[in-house]
Chain A
Amino acid sequence: MKPAPAFAELAATSNFSFLRAASHPHELVERAAELGYGAIGIADRNSVAGLVRAHVAAKAAGIRLVPGCRLVLTDGPDLLAYPADRAAWGRLTRLLTTGKRRAEKGGCILSLTDLAMLEGGFAGIVSAPQVSHEETEVLSSKINVLKNVFNVSFHVAAAPRFDGCDGPRLARAAQLAEACALPLAATAEPLMHVPGRRPVFDVLTCIREHCTLADAGLRLAANGERHLRTPADMARLFAAYPAALTAGAEIAGGLAFSLDDLAYEYPDEPVPAGRSADGQLARLALSGARARYPEGVPDKVRAQIGHELRIIRELRYAPYFLTVHDIVGFARSRGILCQGRGSAANSAVCFALGITAVDPARSDTLFERFVSAARNEPPDIDVDFEHERREEVIQHIYARYGRERAGLAAAVIRYRARSAVREVGKVLGIAEDRAAALARTVWGRSSRSPDAGQTRAAGLDPASPEAARLLALARELIGFPRHLSQHVGGFVITRGRLDEVVPIENAAMEARTVIEWDKDDLDALGILKIDVLALGMLSCIRRALGLIAAHHGRVLELATIPAEDAAVYEMLCRADSVGVFQVESRAQMTMLPRLRPRTFYDLVIEVAIVRPGPIQGDMVHPYLRRRSGKEAVEFPSDELRAVLGKTLGVPLFQEQAMRIAMVAAGFSAQDADRLRRAMATFKHTGQVSFFRDKMVEGMTARGYEPAFAERCFQQIEGFGSYGFPESHAASFALLVYASAWIKCHYPDVFAAALLNSQPMGFYAPAQIVRDARAHGVEVRAVDVNASDWDCKLEEAPQMALAVNGVQLKALRLGLRQVRGLSEADAKRLVAARALDGPFADTGDLAARTGLAKAALSRLARADALASLKLDRRPALWAVAGLEDAAPLPLFAAAERSNGGPRLDDAPPPPLPPMGTGEAVAEDYRMVRLSLRDHPARLLRGRLDNLGFAPCADMARAKHGSWVRAAGLVLVRQRPGTASGVIFMTIEDEDAVANLVVWPKSFERYRATVMAARMVGVAGRVEHEGNPPHRVTHVIAERLYDLSDLLDGLDEASGRMAVASRDFQ
């Protein structure tokens, strides 16, 4: 006798039915495998967002996944739909797309008539609600209409709820089934994988209903019975309907669709008629190479291109390259700066096509890092575009390929520690400020729930049951998806209709549409994605080049900036790098004087080295020691010298790790790539021993010491997932050099471009301006008679000469700096000024610009009316006295020309004068910086009394001596590597100081570290190196919150606005 088929549960709901189910897709799959199910079907509400994760988990667990979807209709019962083949899947996704495109973000509107779009080829299950006798007829007529759609199989299901009415419920479901002439299916309709998830489920319900646990009443689950049950249990519950038990397995048997069937096809637009993709690619590559190397293509590069084209042809990736080339070409045609990054820069073909900028003739590229025949997944090209013009590129893609074929990848927004604590706190009814305080102790976007110390600091007793519940539930909630959002820039483009691969929905942003899968899902399915990313520095560089052309008469492109300029490297060695791409952070500034970059390759290393991987893998110190001559540079063999020569024998890059495996252990290129990928996931896949053995064997076979081989492998293992690809570092290094060159030679232009490209970078406008002034640039305040929206350059005959003998201009701050002034208003002002010349008085200003009083007050408070001979307070007074409606232009003009009484001719109002402290505070409040003075200078007397020395003294103090200093908090940073150490940067009127706060001190002074705007520190000074390349830190022993002193500068509102940047 054939054994009965194993039970299959097809109606599971995962937490991708947001806030309605309490288990991750992989949890459901794994539990189903544990229970011995024959198959598991996941059907989320009007969504397939979780299916790929389930698919991957199912493969790992060895159980079959039946992909499906629960169609929630506006005018009918819930229908679970399972496509039987690829074509049916396409119809399902198109149906979902239709429903989603007509709804707001996150919604889906479907009615019974829409289901006709499915046509046929589906297995269906009607999720029978509690039907009364009268409703059966109506319902059965609705269901009968759908038999054409669900022509593979059609069942009626009812799940036990354990509410005392299960017997009648199942009986009525059986009646309904009979009335419709359909069989019954047994299902538990699980909303969680184990009953222990009930508390989380209740919390989700409360979040969804916006109520607290105490108010939820009957909305909470009466029991936790909606979970995956053992087959024996199901048999017991459906003992009266034995045929229903095998229904699930039968349904699964009739379906043949798996997500693996989603084969991917690249678009063929970029291929002209009559040519093949490979042919076209080859032509473009060769002509591009000739353009790149006017003196003739080097042999090495020619060979490399040939090699790459062979692999590309074999793997049939040519259309992908052509698509990316097409997009980049569009950008270039519009003068949008762009550059490829990442592993793609390993490709000579990409360089030839102009996608990347790393010259294979000068660098050592490894194509297999980018594309490998062994890998069964498409390449991943990330291209950075100017952040301000990226939208043009995005809309071009939509226009060229159409919204049915192009869409942005999704990003799953999940609960992290902070949001989880806040939401659970709200649900549990914990006072909002307590929960918020606890949430704030979590650093940034961490996923680690707060520990006992943090809980105590927030005013909650960690031992109390209240706090324990909060923390336990928050921990479970972390990682749950909340909703889908759009990915930063990952585009999916298909040849056929994209909405026949995956549903497309509306994004929150207008004119954007998003697919339901994120980039991990796309990778898992082998669907190609192009990352259209935004890089602020590209916008900044483009602006800078434009300003140089306009004001200094020198026309440059990114590619024609003079290379290898010693003055630029000297500047970087001094850590004079505020605003420079990638090397302006505190960590980089301390590394620059140690590493002392003198050539381009040094920059490549600089970019790669200051990251968790190399630091943890203990690469950085050996490298620096060898570089400074403290250690001898030696290589275990000549072949390794070839690989590690450029990095002095220390492996720093992923490609080097791969090459070591290839060269010293005899790995093939594909194997080496597998090694690299395994390194990134060692913890998960447990392939450590396999690769270790392979490497050690290979190396010993070629004559290396086994101990050495082991050490090599350990090193590689150490920085596996964090090591940079060299190509990526090289792409970035190009931008480092370019931005440093601009800063070195044209600091006026650099500052203007940086300010106009905000928000970006590590520093706030106040620091950019300070740095510019330190480099001799005169900075002029915002003024209605001189400023445009953007910051600009003006003539300044008295200024000092810059490095190369060029006369620097003065920087006029733009109206964009004024807090709360809209761009539209600013443009109106500028236009009015352009039309009729400078404004004479406030009445003139108001009349000609037509700005509202609120906008004019902002300008007055920002001290922008100085050219009207009005100080702040008289200016505000004048503005307040204007008529609300602008006077009719004709009358106003007549009055002016008649020499009629001008508003400002009235005697000045008897207003009290403004002190410097108040003025500085108001500057910070309205313009985010002050040209007048620094708050620390104004408080210098008080600071001296309290025993704090200026920050500039830190550099001069003796190593190890005890010092006290104070300043505004600029930056707080807690890098993931540094075992809980916090770095802070404080600034006073002349200098900055870098503070190091060890975890013990952090615990004692947590509130001060996290929230203070001005801080005093007492601790020991530590120096490294000698001037001028010395790096100084203050190890903080005690910290003082001096924010009150700041507030004291401005008595009126009592709160001085200083914002610091916080980094992970």
Chain B
Amino acid sequence: MRDGAGIWIEAGGCAHLLGGEEAMCRTVVADLARLGHAARAGLAGTPGAAWALARTAKTPFAIAAPGTEREALAPLPVAALRLDPATVEALCALGLRRIGDLYPLGTAASGRAELARRFPPLLLERLDAALGLVFEPISPIRERTRHITRFTAPEPVRDGETVARITQRLVETLCPMLARDGLGARRVTLTAFRADGRSAQIDCGTARPLAEARALMRLMALCLPRLATGPGADAFALEATETDPLRATQARLDGRKDREDDALTLAPLVEKLAARLGNGRIGRLAPRPRHLPERAQSFVDAFGDIPDTPDAATAARPLRLFARPAPVAAAATAPEGPPAWFRWQGTVHPIARAEGPERIALDWWRLDGWQGDPPAMPETLADAVRDYWRVEDARGARFWIFRDGPWRPDAPERWYLHGVFP
């Protein structure tokens, strides 16, 4: 249904298979309930009447025998005719609240002319359709084509080699199917139906749409070890569960592939790694507009789209940023100034040059201490800063260190190493 909240089912001739109309309705509602939907059903001779009954029913289902639409609809509100709100309001203002109120007007020709003058044609169309005076077609939903191949073995298969050969056959059948429709697989699922009645599944994701059997088979080979065939499987199905349009790549005259598309060369590597290690484990870093360095990037899926790069922070950032800043011992020369040396992992680094400070304040909304009576700014606000310094040690190595909190004459300084420049 176009408004997405219901389904029309043309059930003519099916009732007797399910035990009669009432039983059919009851079964449908019960089945939907099991799937987690609370539903109401209406059964009538016209789609319009069925809609009206379903929408306004106070019981789980309502049935109007064929030919009784008129009486069944009379007490229902006019909104049940699928009209727009303005028309409904106009009808109610005139006191025409129930569908039955429309009958005196909607039958005689003069009445209909009066109605037609005052209301959009939809009103009469819907009324006539609901009463069965006009035919209202339902357009069915088309099922999406699936790209799936199956293979049945004469007897249960357990060993990996056979499984691989079967998979090869399946892949070689699937790929032409895809190519014919101009699609490439992005995700492929292999299902093995085991002899003990259970089924095992593995899936494989690709970085770009794939319709070439050899490449796909290479990937599948990496995943196959994970398929738990148990006592043995006697039927296999290979389906391309996610597809994308295939971009044809132009082959060069000399037969070599074009090197420009880096993505194509990186992609196989990423795919292999993902297949080996698991899909969620390979990703990339995307920049995020945040001041705090550890929050300034997010981990996105390797195969996902790269988000637009917003403005980045203007100051330099180290190539290697530690996920957790490492505490270091350091002593500053002057108050508020950079340290003269620092010790990290046993090595002392005397500092030759320093640039800064870059003061980055912590996210104030993550601080504790707002509660109070009355609520007020947390007292820790003043201390929630870091002073970063870009330092170069005597050997020329460059580091990014910060002091946690503003400089205080009587408190010891806490320094951390957050990253390393090349």
Contacts and interface: CB of A to CB of B under 8 A. Distances in A.
B161 interface: no
A195 B355 CA distance: 23
Contacts of A906: 114
Contacts of B390: 164
B373 interface: yes
B361 A167 contact: no
Interface stretch (A215-223, A410-418, A507-515, A617-625): A215-223
A164 B290 contact: no
B411 interface: no
Interface string B367-408: 010111111110001100100101000000000000000000
A913 interface: yes
A463 B312 CA distance: 37
Contacts of B119: 880
A167 B355 contact: yes
Interface in B92-106: 92-97, 101, 104-105
Interface string A207-231: 0000001000110111111000000
Interface residues of A, number: 49
A217 B97 CA distance: 53
B248 to A, nearest CB: 40
Contacts of B385: 223
Interface in B288-326: 288-291, 310-316
B118 to A, nearest CB: 4
A877 B91 CA distance: 10
Interface string B323-360: 00000000000001000000000000000000111111
B312 to A, nearest CB: 8
A59 interface: no
Contacts of B151: none
Given A163-B358, A218-B313, A877 B94 contact: yes
Contact of B370 (A163, A164, A224, A472): A472
Contacts of B95: 873, 911-914
Interface string A239-283: 000000000000000000000000000000000000000000000
Interface stretch (A196-204, A539-547, A635-643): A196-204
Contacts of B97: 912, 1051-1052
B326 to A, nearest CB: 20
A880 B119 CA distance: 8
A472 B375 contact: yes
B58 interface: no
Nearest to A164: B358
Interface in A434-458: 449, 451-452
A873 B94 contact: yes
Interface residues of B, number: 51
Interface string A138-164: 000000000000000000000000111
A881 B117 contact: yes
A761 B388 CA distance: 64
A231 to B, nearest CB: 15
A690 B173 CA distance: 104
A223 B117 contact: no
B102 to A, nearest CB: 10
B32 interface: no
A511 to B, nearest CB: 38
A1026 interface: no
A629 interface: no
* A236, A463, A468, A1051 — most chain B CB neighbours (10 Å): A468
A202 B364 CA distance: 10
Contact of B357 (A164, A468, A476, A873): A164
* B92, B313, B368, B377 — most chain A CB neighbours (10 Å): B377
A475 interface: yes
A200 to B, nearest CB: 9
A217 B96 contact: no
B361 A198 contact: yes
B310 A218 contact: yes
* B97, B117, B315, B374 — most chain A CB neighbours (10 Å): B374
Contacts of B90: 880
A910 B107 CA distance: 12
A217 B370 CA distance: 22
Nearest to A910: B104
Contacts of B361: 198, 221-224
A189 B209 CA distance: 56
A222 B359 contact: yes
Contacts of A217: 288-290, 310
A218 B290 contact: yes
Interface in A467-490: 467-469, 471-472, 475-476
* B93, B105, B311, B357 — most chain A CB neighbours (10 Å): B93
A849 B142 CA distance: 55
B90 to A, nearest CB: 7
A697 to B, nearest CB: 43
Interface of B: 89-90, 92-97, 101, 104-105, 111, 114, 117-119, 288-291, 310-316, 336, 355-361, 364-365, 368, 370-377, 381-382, 385, 388, 390
Interface of A: 162-165, 167, 195-196, 198-199, 202, 213, 217-218, 220-225, 236, 428, 449, 451-452, 463, 465, 467-469, 471-472, 475-476, 861, 873, 876-877, 880-881, 906, 909-914, 1051-1053
Closest 6 interchain pairs by CB? A217-B289, A164-B358, A468-B370, A880-B118, A468-B375, A164-B315
19 contacts: A162-B357, A162-B359, A164-B358, A195-B381, A196-B382, A198-B364, A202-B364, A220-B291, A222-B359, A223-B359, A236-B336, A452-B373, A465-B371, A471-B374, A472-B374, A475-B375, A881-B118, A911-B94, A912-B97
